[in-house]
Structure 1
Amino acid sequence: MSQFYFDIWDGEALVVDEEGLDLASRRAAEVEAALSLADIAKQLEPFASSDGLAINVRDASGLVLRAIFVCERDQPVN
């Protein structure tokens, strides 16, 4: 098991994870980051900007991965 920290970037501010989670592998950290992004995205106001929404996952040695939420909307054709 390894300790992973999930720092959340909302496009304006970074919320640093001080506690972390004890997970079995990097793959488990990837899954946790994806699920966390989905949960955060569900809480966004409709049509709110999600530009820059990301989770930086780190361990004792530094950055492991960066999960980024991308929301693309089709523009109506006039």
Structure 2
Amino acid sequence: MKRYYFDVRDGSQFIRDDEGAELPNIESAREEATTALSEMAREWVRGRPQHRIAVEVRDDHGPILEASFSFVMKPCAT
């Protein structure tokens, strides 16, 4: 199995994953990033008119994919 790391960008904050997770392939890493991102989005956007978060996946050789979520709420013109 290969070790994948899931770093998080929350606006200007960067949280580095130094532990990582052993997964069988890139598809499993993609699924893990998607699940983590959806859980974070549900919790972190509450009460904020706009927000962007991303999970940046890397292996021992460097970055391999990024999953991001942008949320914007604005009033409609009436």
Query: Who is 2:63 aligned against?
Result: 63
Tell me which moved more, 21-30 or 67-76: 67-76
RMSD of equivalent CA atoms: 1.6
Query: Per the alignment, in what secondary structure is the counterpart of residue 58 of structure 1?
Result: strand
Gap change, CA 1:45 and 1:63, over 3 Å in 2: closer
Residue 19 of structure 1 deviates from its aligned partner by 0.2
Residue 69 of structure 1 deviates from its aligned partner by 0.8
Partners of 2:66 and 2:20 in 1: CA distance = 15
- TM-score of the two chains, using structure 2 as the length reference: 0.87
Q: Percent identity?
A: 30
Higher share of residues assigned strand: 2
Q: What is the number of equivalent residue pairs in this alignment?
A: 77
Q: Name stretches of at least 5 consecutive residues in structure 1 with no aligned partner.
A: none
Query: Who is 2:20 aligned against?
Result: 20
Asked if 1:32 is matched to 2:32, the reply is yes
